[in-house]
Structure 1
Amino acid sequence: MEFKIEHTWDEFPVIHEPVTIGIKPTKEGVLMQVSAPFFNDPPAPAGDPGKPFPGLWDYEVVEAFFLCEGSEQYLEVELCPHGQHLLLLLSGRRNAWKQELDLVFDVTRGESRWAGTAHIPWSYFPAGVDRFNAYAIHGSGERRAYEALYPVPQSEIHVGQQPDFHRLEYFKPFSFEGLMGEDWMQPESDLWMKTMPGK
């Protein structure tokens, strides 16, 4: 399953080679593969490569969101070309209850492009994932660019509106069963069942 981010968050075409995200379910979890232009703007975060970095969304990053529409529970995965990552578990729009999860994330980077592979365990995914969106961010100041796989339609943009990647109503249908077979069942997550507030 492959997705290309070809528009800005407000539905204008991007002016560079689009970011590509590949999603491949495995027995242990999901293999997420990113291929993207490397802007090197902003400069690298101060954190160590291979480690979680809070506030990574303020840097150059590619993000994927896996949502269960009925429960509004979702996993946010942020990957940086400099090797840092940030994973958040959210229950309700923008309500993160766990973050900075460990991740096996490998990056290769050239002068103009980067590629990353993240191994995301099933325990990080909420039950019943059925919606998806993906984003890319780069640039500083007035050059800051926000791009979306499924953008907000131009007809629904109002004056002064800012990019918001947690507009869950614009996420589109997504199915692991389509890749794994209709009889496949998403593994249960002890992390979500035992750690979520109220459980």
Structure 2
Amino acid sequence: MEFKITKTWNGLEIDHAPVVISLQCEEGKGLRVNVQAPFFNSPPAPNSPAGQPCDRLWDYEVVEVFFANDKDEYLEVEFCPHGQHLVLFLEGIRNCIKDKLALDLITTKNSNATWDGTAYIPYSYFPHLVTKCNAFAIHGEGGNRTYEALYPSNGLAEPDFHRLEFFKEINFQSLVPPTEASSIGKAWTQ
């Protein structure tokens, strides 16, 4: 499954190559998420070690992927080109119940001003019965801060990535190998 972020949060066309996100099931490893994105290096890297969770990662250059069910339970996974990540479990809008979970993330900055990231999200991190998703990319500083969305939130006065009514349907079951189905949601109850 592949997605391209081609719009700003409010539906305008972006003025650079899109962020490309691909999803692939990896039995025994989790859901493989590949990110290919322009590298803006703005803002600079967070003061946090690569490979570790970073609080408030959304304040930096980041790509975010959300997976939600119809009960407003959702997983938010953030990837930074500098190697940091942030994983959040939310029950209800912005109601974080777990954060800073471990994630196997590898990032590479390329010579052509792009970066690639690959992460394996354990199936236990996903809420039961995922039905919809959205993805976002953020970069820039101050008045040049740019917010981009796979599925824009037209009509809002400012960016809000937690508006689940703008998420779109995903056939999540096609990404779950039968051997992993029983692990869905386990991390939510531990």
User: Could you say whether these structures have the same fold, taking a TM-score greater than 0.5 normalized by the shorter chain as the test?
Assistant: yes
Aligned length in residues: 188
Q: CA RMSD in A?
A: 1.8
Number of the residue aligned with 2:73: 73
- Between the aligned residues of both structures, percent identity stands at 49
Deviation at 1:179, TM superposition (A): 4.6
**What SS is found at the alignment partner of 1:127?**
coil
Instruction: Indicate if the aligned counterparts of 1:30 and 1:119 stay in contact, CA closer than 8 A.
Output: yes
Number of the residue aligned with 2:161: 165
What does 1:1-199 correspond to in 2, within 5 Å? 1-28=1-28, 29-69=30-70, 71-111=71-111, 112-153=113-154, 156-157=155-156, 161-179=157-175, 185=181, 187-192=183-188, 194-195=189-190
Deviation at 1:25, TM superposition (A): 1.7
**What SS is found at the alignment partner of 1:123?**
helix
State TM-score, norm by structure 2: 0.93
Matched to 1:44, the amino acid is A
Instruction: Indicate if the aligned counterparts of 1:128 and 1:186 stay in contact, CA closer than 8 A.
Output: no
**Structure 1 Cα separation of the partners of residues 168 and 184 of structure 2:** 23
Please identify runs of 4+ aligned residues in structure 1 that moved more than 3 A: 178-182, 184-188
**Structure 1 Cα separation of the partners of residues 142 and 96 of structure 2:** 27
Instruction: Indicate if the aligned counterparts of 1:150 and 1:171 stay in contact, CA closer than 8 A.
Output: yes
Deviation at 1:27, TM superposition (A): 1.9
Matched to 2:158, the amino acid is Q
